[in-house]
């Protein structure tokens, strides 16, 4: 079994894939604006975007401050892309607070979860 790595030692990645139930975005390491914009272009241009999205940020050690504007823009345009629910999975209390503040001004349901199983249940229609 390989040794466990601390989230700050994770390689810098950001990727998206769509399944039947939801679209999954997974991040790791340090996320740059270029990585974020590339992933957002893929999501905007994808014909297979699900109505629900899970964004897993548990392995993200940090991100460039310039990521905030494109992320906020994507959340604002989410309803036009057909998204109705977005679940953020993260362990950061700062991220949890920020998502609660953002959720109040969005036209899409946005919830924060510490554990992925609860997030997937909610995305699939359970109250979680």
Residue whose token pair is 């993260």: 90
Identify whether 1 is part of a domain.
no
pLDDT of 6 strictly over 70: no
Q: Classify each residue of 29-56 as buried b or exposed e, where b means 16 or more C-beta atoms within 10 Å of its C-beta.
A: bbbebebbbebbebbeeeeebbebbbbb
Residue range 40-64, pLDDT digits in tens: 999 998 767 789 999 999 988 888 9
- With respect to residue 94, please indicate whether it lies within any of the assigned structural domains: yes
What span, in angstroms and rounded, lies between the C-alpha atoms of 111 and 123? Answer: 10
Residue 39 lies in a domain: yes
Number of domains in the chain: 1
Residue 119 lies in a domain: yes
As a dihedral over the C-alpha atoms of residue 11, residue 97, residue 94, residue 31, rounded to 10 degrees, the angle is 30
Domain extent for 13: 7-123
Asked whether residue 71 is domain-assigned, the answer is yes
Question: Is residue 24 situated within a structural domain?
Answer: yes
pTM given for the model: 0.85
The chain-wide mean pLDDT, for the chain, equals: 87
Give yes or no for residue 113 having a pLDDT over 60: yes
Question: What digits encode the pLDDT tens for the residues 69-111?
Answer: 999 999 999 999 999 999 999 988 887 787 888 888 899 999 9
Any idea what the CATH number is for the domain that residue 51 is in?
3.40.50.10600
pLDDT of 73 reads 94
**What is Dmax (Cα atoms) for the chain?**
45
**Which pLDDT value is given to residue 79?**
94
Residue 2 falls inside a structural domain: no
- Residue 11 forms part of a structural domain: yes
């Amino acid at each position: 079994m390989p040794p466990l790595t601390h989230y700050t030692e994770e390689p810098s990645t950001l990727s998206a894939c769509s399944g039947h139930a939801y679209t999954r975005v997974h991040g790791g390491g340090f996320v740059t604006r270029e990585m974020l914009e590339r992933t957002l272009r893929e999501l905007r241009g994808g014909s297979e975007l699900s109505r629900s999205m899970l964004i897993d940020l548990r392995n993200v050690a940090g991100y460039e401050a310039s990521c905030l504007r494109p992320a906020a823009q994507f959340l604002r345009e989410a309803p036009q892309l057909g998204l109705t629910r977005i679940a953020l999975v993260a362990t950061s209390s700062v991220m949890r607070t920020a998502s609660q503040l953002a959720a109040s001004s969005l036209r899409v349901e946005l919830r924060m979860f510490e554990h992925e199983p609860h997030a997937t249940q909610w995305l699939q229609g359970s109250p979680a």
